Structure 1
Amino acid sequence: MRHLHTRTSRRRVLGALAAGLLGTAGLAAPAVAAPAAQPAAPALADGLALTPPMGFNNWNSTHCRAEFNESMVKGIADLFVDKGLKDAGYRYVNLDDCWALPDRDADGKLVPDPVRFPHGIKAVADYVHSKGLKLGIYTSAGTKTCNSAGFPGALGHEYSDARQFADWGVDYLKYDNCNNQGVDARLRYTTMRDALRATGRPIVYSICEWGQNKPWEWASDVGHLWRTTGDISDSWGSMLGILKQNLPLAPYAGPGHWNDPDMLEVGNGGMTDTEYRSHFSMWSVMAAPLLIGSDLRKASPATFDILDNKEVIAVDQDPLGEQGRVVSSEGGRWVVAKRMKDGSRAVALFNESGTAQRIATTARAVGLPRAPAYTLRDLWRHRAYNTAGSIAATVPAHGTVLVRVGTDRRWAAHPPAVELGVDGRPLTVAGKATTLTSAVTDLGRTPAEHVSVRLRGPAGWTVRATSPSASAAVPTGRSLRTTWSVTAPPGTPTGSYDLTLRAAYRSPTGVRAAVTTALTASVVVPPPAGTSGLGDLPWLSATNGYGPVERNTSNGESAAGDGHPLTIGGVVYGRGLGVHAPSAVEYYTGGACEKVGADVGVDDEKGANGSVAFEIWADGTEVASTGVLTNAMPAQPITADVTGAQVVRLVVTDGGDGIDSDHADWADAQLTC
């Protein structure tokens, strides 16, 4: 939970674990190595949390606002039933901080806030239980909780507080890490484990010490789940950084003992639905707890569609209990595979980058035995196909294709899997025709017959095929390639626009199938001749670790426009870019530019913290880098020859100690064309 609303309060990630893993969108991320040691089998043989807990926690959507109250909690329980979330597996309705009064009573007991919970916690628990659901509660392993108001923590009151929770009918405890007075973490969390056990009530125990003491190495006999990271926030950069910290910890997860990368942000509004589907897909393939963090009373149909995808939930809840492991990660293209109890594999093709990318693997690479063919089921499209062994897709920017692949003997009953994509990156100048080439590739064991393909652009765009767009048959491993002339109307503003590529075909047995892929075309303008400040030029795309990329000011905090003059080592610069690691800003250079240069470093606005590395990439090749720079260092010059490049990318990565306070400046950044 994020009770202290400053970046330094609890957003420091695990430096050693994150080093090298917090890659920036579109970069060649290193393969994630698993920890060398295999953990011991868990000792908590109490039958609880044999699959990752699923439910709701109010903090991400309400914090400590007055709307967090008895009525809200009951309303969430009602929605679990009415919207089918209970049937999908969600069980826990969890209260976070601010449910209690700031002071204990004369007997040292916790007192529920009579304004928020006029009938007390037991009455709320009884209501939740009447719906066939379970109630969770929150406190901290310290003298106070994490909220600045300072509600009572459980340090020194473990047995009394645990007894109260049990008497109220609590089924789940989230135990935070604030105000812990320096007491050893294992001691604090083990004491509460023993106190909960002494009550005789089955209570799922969630250790929330943010991964500071590597609980995955010692907590399997203490709690049922443990936080592996700092707090998540509702942004792509936050979700991505946490994902990369949690992925290497797969060996430590299993039935009754789970890695917890924090709650879901799905539906809170800070990411797109594509990004939220990635969030939900990757949490599920990591066998993470699925705790809804959005206010379901205000949730859109799209949010419910994501949260209620039972095929994706089945990946998370598979009884084998394995966390997915990284098969490959290069250039922002991730393949993560999870072994399932029935022998199949759930495979996530995850695109970290800001542009569509082809991501591919094979059935053998994800651990399946050799077979004539395999059944591949797309868990978001809810369609099954056959494949000869290839698993591939053009994945949208920040998107995830999640499939389940197995050796089902009935593979021939399904149409062949086909892959859709285009060569290169669709970049077009308004009013000028651009040539694109699409490919419909048969990945199946059987041929695709009566194949046709269609490309559509936004209203007013001209899109026409200039080569055949249909074929009687496409054999296994072959492609129907079609060239297209695409023209955006004169005057079309720069930016990203949706293209839709759709292929229709039949299997040899007559089963009809159709596949649609969303592509993004960027309308660009040629760069101006001479030398220009990059803070003044339009960019193709921009991703940032915290808040937006700022033009000609520092990063500031999370809001747009809240930066300050760019300042490195006391030197103030008037122009440039203010970013926060991990960050990537792309510019269209159209083969007309020769040089990029800047003075770079950590901005002074965050004091003594922060370490970053700067890189310049030209068409996917790194052409300049600085190494690690810290706040104690003056600005360093960086220049790169980008002659002939179509796209130049400015990248900032973590310096190896986590991304806290990594405010980075591209001061006086200039492009010469």
Structure 2
Amino acid sequence: MSVRLRLAALGVAAATAAAGLALVTAPAAVALDNGLARTPQMGFNNWNATHCSGDFNETMVKGIADLFVSSGLKAAGYQYVNLDDCWALPARDAGGNLVPDPVRFPDGIKAVADYVHAKGLKFGLYSSAGTKTCNTAGFPGGLGHEKQDAALWASWGVDYLKYDNCNNQGVDAVQRYTAMRDALAATGRPILYSLCEWGQNQPWNWATSVGNSWRTTGDINDTYAKMLSIFKANIKLGQYAGPGHWNDPDMLEVGNGGMTDTEYRSHFSLWSIMASPLLIGSDIRKATPATMAILTNKDVIAVDQDPLGVQGTELSNANGLHVISKPLAGGDRAVALFNENGTPATISTTAAAVGLPKALGYQLNDLWSHKTTETAGKISATVPAHGTAMFRVHAGGAWWSNPPAVHTSADLPLPYPGAPALVQPGTTTTLTTTTTNDGVLPGLLGEVKLTGPAGWTVKATSPTFHPVLPAGRDVSTKWSVSTPADTPPGSYPLHVSTTYYPGKSTSDYDLTVSVAAPLTAGTTGLGDDPWLSADNGYGPVERNTSNGESKAGDGHPITLGGVTYAKGLGVNAPSTITYYPAGHCSAVTATVGLDDEKTGAGSVTFEIWADGNKVADTGLIKRGDPAQSLHADVTGAGLLRLIVTDGGDGNTNDHADWANAQITC
């Protein structure tokens, strides 16, 4: 059976050209015929917010169901309220049945499912395709108990099964997951089947006829770096997704606090344009208005839930500036312009490039600002660092009834493309704003304003008023920006606002600048020196300890090859740490490798970059390899980056140390 499934799943339907955009259909294997997940599933899962804490219980689950209704989440399309690991007792009963934890769920699982159903929602549960689940306490898994467990869950009213991959005893993945598929089907109850196989056995090649969705990567966590790495892995797999069978890049972290709202909007936008399951992973009982505004954005959700069922395709990725397009039912296109870098950038594509037919004008619906403009065909936005602009583009229609699409960027001189925008205390910097009209029609009476933080002096040195913003043209304004001498290091916004007619339309944009002081003269430890920014694959970068993956201060002594180091930096790939030597430093040295505290397979590379140029590289380091000495000449560099990649195999067990890392200035 497993061989037949593999052979069937390897057949891929021919690509279809549609109005200039090549679309690849799902594999030829017949999709799981349970009638479910015709669009990607939407709901809630408690794991990212609670894990197995005492807060995970019957009261919480019922409260989530109540909030689905009262907060508008149900109206926005969220349907499933799902329990993750730790809902059961550690042992089955005398009859071999799973037993709900009576402390967490005193009324039993069926009563909770009934409560959820009474709200017009559906209920989900978790297990593992192994002898035990993934929690260290070792709750019973479903391997060898598939028929018994499926029948029990059906009797409780379960509508959704998340089936994990731990303690699988080496049994073939196709065999394990197919056994539960058949057991669920035998119950006669429609149960959405979500394979949580982590992409280990490339489920996109065989799971189309086995499950309704399959995980394509390892677990997500609440960091920008991890979200980014998962996006880059999942975006490549669009040909395998379609109605009833979806690539699953894991749950949403929106609202858990480890990313900014800008990064969470990117997270939500990217998952939606990739036609991913949208499972809320934060405690919505504590959600901020900003979190709820992201999670209930119906315009973005409509892209995810579009009935055509095509995953978005990445059209370009030049220096971390991504253009992703998704065809929609009725002929429109969704377009996401994603800036993965730490500095703002203008990202552009065209209606022709995303597959729309030629037209005199196009309607451009901004799915985050909810403004509609017209364009002659250019789809462009000034996108903040780690941000995403998202549009729905329609060819023709009453495009002329909307104001032209106008955006304004603000540019500081940068040492290299993608570098952060830097100013020093007590200095004056020249900044240029550029206003661009992408419309067919001109904008009239355009006025640009630039404002800074309290105490900063911002003055225009060229005209800010433009009687006409010509179609297809740019107009620029020069500004003088003075930073007070006592400004502490940190990030500060410069706000750009453009007003124009018809309709007194507005375009707003924030340029975030970093105020930085140069590193101290002499030879200092980078584990003690201030950094400009630090991104990490799991948890925060740690100073002078290893990485503990969860919260600041949870690391251990740095240990490489049995040698312990008192100083250094503990990271988990992928990681980037940026410093400001300001041209006054000459050399960086470190001893680097994978920390001894992890024993599983892992691989990384260590790189040192000076002003956009790689000046040192270890090559691939695998678990068991000896530590390496790394030296880099950084003479004259304005910016320094210490980068650790995941070696191309994901970031499991990638605790990486910059031991005794020092810089000479």
TM over 0.5: yes
CA distance in 2 between partners of 1:48 and 1:455 (Å) = 51
* Displacement after TM superposition at 1:569 (Å): 3.6
Match of 1:654 in 2: 646
Question: Aligned pair in 2 of structure 1 residues 639, 405: CA closer, same or farther (>3 Å)?
Answer: farther
- Indicate whether 1:484 and 2:448 are aligned: no
Match of 2:250 in 1: 262
Q: Residue 73 of structure 1: SS of its match in structure 2?
A: helix
Contact map agreement 2:492 2:513 (CA 8 A) in 1: yes
Match of 1:210 in 2: 198
Match of 2:281 in 1: 293
For 1:21-60, list aligned pairs within 5 A.
39-60=27-48
Match of 1:502 in 2: 497
CA distance in 1 between partners of 2:110 and 2:513 (Å) = 56
2:513 to 521, 524, 529: 521
Question: Aligned pair in 2 of structure 1 residues 200, 565: CA closer, same or farther (>3 Å)?
Answer: closer
CA distance in 1 between partners of 2:172 and 2:368 (Å) = 44
Match of 1:429 in 2: 424
- Indicate whether 1:183 and 2:171 are aligned: yes
* Displacement after TM superposition at 1:330 (Å): 2.8
Match of 1:459 in 2: 454
* Displacement after TM superposition at 1:637 (Å): 4.1
Question: Aligned pair in 2 of structure 1 residues 401, 134: CA closer, same or farther (>3 Å)?
Answer: same
Q: Deviations over 1:149-181 (max 9, x none)?
A: 332222222222212222222211112222222
Q: Deviations over 1:622-658 (max 9, x none)?
A: 3332322234444434444445543222222122332
Contact map agreement 1:42 1:257 (CA 8 A) in 2: no
CA distance in 2 between partners of 1:437 and 1:618 (Å) = 26
- Indicate whether 1:97 and 2:97 are aligned: no
- Indicate whether 1:164 and 2:118 are aligned: no
Range with greater deviation from structure 2 (567-576 or 124-133): 567-576
CA distance in 2 between partners of 1:445 and 1:456 (Å) = 30
Q: Which runs of 5+ in 1 are unaligned?
A: 1-33
For 1:324-473, list aligned pairs within 5 A.
324-424=312-412, 425=414, 426-473=421-468
Q: Deviations over 1:33-74 (max 9, x none)?
A: x99996224332332110001111112222223332222222
Question: Aligned pair in 2 of structure 1 residues 144, 595: CA closer, same or farther (>3 Å)?
Answer: closer
Matched residue type, 1:219: A
- Indicate whether 1:555 and 2:547 are aligned: yes
* Displacement after TM superposition at 1:243 (Å): 1.7
* Displacement after TM superposition at 1:206 (Å): 1.0
Question: Aligned pair in 2 of structure 1 residues 531, 468: CA closer, same or farther (>3 Å)?
Answer: farther
- Indicate whether 1:584 and 2:579 are aligned: no
* Displacement after TM superposition at 1:575 (Å): 4.2
Percent identity of equivalent pairs = 65
Q: Deviations over 1:49-105 (max 9, x none)?
A: 100011111122222233322222221111111111111111111122222233333
Q: Residue 432 of structure 2: SS of its match in structure 1?
A: strand
Match of 2:12 in 1: none
CA distance in 1 between partners of 2:202 and 2:42 (Å) = 23
Question: Aligned pair in 2 of structure 1 residues 148, 253: CA closer, same or farther (>3 Å)?
Answer: same
Q: Residue 231 of structure 2: SS of its match in structure 1?
A: helix
Question: Aligned pair in 2 of structure 1 residues 633, 35: CA closer, same or farther (>3 Å)?
Answer: farther
- Indicate whether 1:110 and 2:105 are aligned: no
Question: Aligned pair in 2 of structure 1 residues 632, 465: CA closer, same or farther (>3 Å)?
Answer: same
CA distance in 1 between partners of 2:610 and 2:373 (Å) = 38
Match of 2:63 in 1: 75
CA distance in 1 between partners of 2:607 and 2:545 (Å) = 20
Question: Aligned pair in 2 of structure 1 residues 622, 369: CA closer, same or farther (>3 Å)?
Answer: farther
Question: Aligned pair in 2 of structure 1 residues 299, 608: CA closer, same or farther (>3 Å)?
Answer: closer
Q: Deviations over 1:112-168 (max 9, x none)?
A: 233332332222222222211111112222222222333222222222221222222
Question: Aligned pair in 2 of structure 1 residues 474, 591: CA closer, same or farther (>3 Å)?
Answer: farther
Q: Residue 386 of structure 1: SS of its match in structure 2?
A: strand
CA distance in 2 between partners of 1:315 and 1:398 (Å) = 21
- Cα RMSD over matched residues? 2.3
Contact map agreement 1:608 1:632 (CA 8 A) in 2: no
Q: Which runs of 5+ in 2 are unaligned?
A: 1-21, 415-420
Match of 2:15 in 1: none
Q: Residue 404 of structure 2: SS of its match in structure 1?
A: coil
What TM-score, normalized by structure 1, do the two folds share?
Answer: 0.89
Q: Deviations over 1:493-537 (max 9, x none)?
A: 11211121111111xxx2221111111111122344555443343
Q: Residue 483 of structure 1: SS of its match in structure 2?
A: strand
Range with greater deviation from structure 2 (553-562 or 272-281): 553-562
CA distance in 1 between partners of 2:101 and 2:595 (Å) = 43
Range with greater deviation from structure 2 (163-172 or 631-640): 631-640
CA distance in 2 between partners of 1:145 and 1:281 (Å) = 31
Q: Residue 477 of structure 2: SS of its match in structure 1?
A: strand
Match of 1:612 in 2: 604
CA distance in 1 between partners of 2:338 and 2:446 (Å) = 28
Contact map agreement 2:31 2:244 (CA 8 A) in 1: no
CA distance in 1 between partners of 2:509 and 2:24 (Å) = 39
* Displacement after TM superposition at 1:423 (Å): 2.2
Contact map agreement 1:415 1:512 (CA 8 A) in 2: no
CA distance in 1 between partners of 2:566 and 2:110 (Å) = 59
- Indicate whether 1:238 and 2:222 are aligned: no
Contact map agreement 1:595 1:672 (CA 8 A) in 2: yes
* Displacement after TM superposition at 1:597 (Å): 4.2
What TM-score, normalized by structure 2, do the two folds share?
Answer: 0.90
CA distance in 2 between partners of 1:662 and 1:149 (Å) = 24
Contact map agreement 2:490 2:514 (CA 8 A) in 1: yes
2:537 to 536, 545, 548: 545
**Larger relative CO (CA 8 A, sep 6+): 1 or 2?**
1
CA distance in 2 between partners of 1:665 and 1:63 (Å) = 28
* Displacement after TM superposition at 1:381 (Å): 0.5
* Displacement after TM superposition at 1:239 (Å): 1.6
Q: Residue 527 of structure 2: SS of its match in structure 1?
A: helix
Q: Residue 319 of structure 1: SS of its match in structure 2?
A: coil
Q: Residue 120 of structure 2: SS of its match in structure 1?
A: coil
Match of 1:223 in 2: 211
- Indicate whether 1:629 and 2:621 are aligned: yes
Q: Residue 499 of structure 1: SS of its match in structure 2?
A: strand
1:534 to 526, 539, 559: 526
CA distance in 2 between partners of 1:35 and 1:554 (Å) = 45
* Displacement after TM superposition at 1:187 (Å): 1.5
Contact map agreement 2:146 2:179 (CA 8 A) in 1: yes
* Displacement after TM superposition at 1:581 (Å): 1.5
Question: Aligned pair in 2 of structure 1 residues 479, 35: CA closer, same or farther (>3 Å)?
Answer: closer
Match of 1:306 in 2: 294
Range with greater deviation from structure 2 (350-359 or 219-228): 350-359
Q: Residue 28 of structure 2: SS of its match in structure 1?
A: coil
Range with greater deviation from structure 2 (365-374 or 395-404): 365-374
CA distance in 2 between partners of 1:371 and 1:143 (Å) = 59
CA distance in 2 between partners of 1:431 and 1:184 (Å) = 65
CA distance in 1 between partners of 2:331 and 2:657 (Å) = 49
Q: Deviations over 1:381-404 (max 9, x none)?
A: 011111222222222222111111
Contact map agreement 2:26 2:241 (CA 8 A) in 1: no
For 1:634-649, list aligned pairs within 5 A.
634-649=626-641
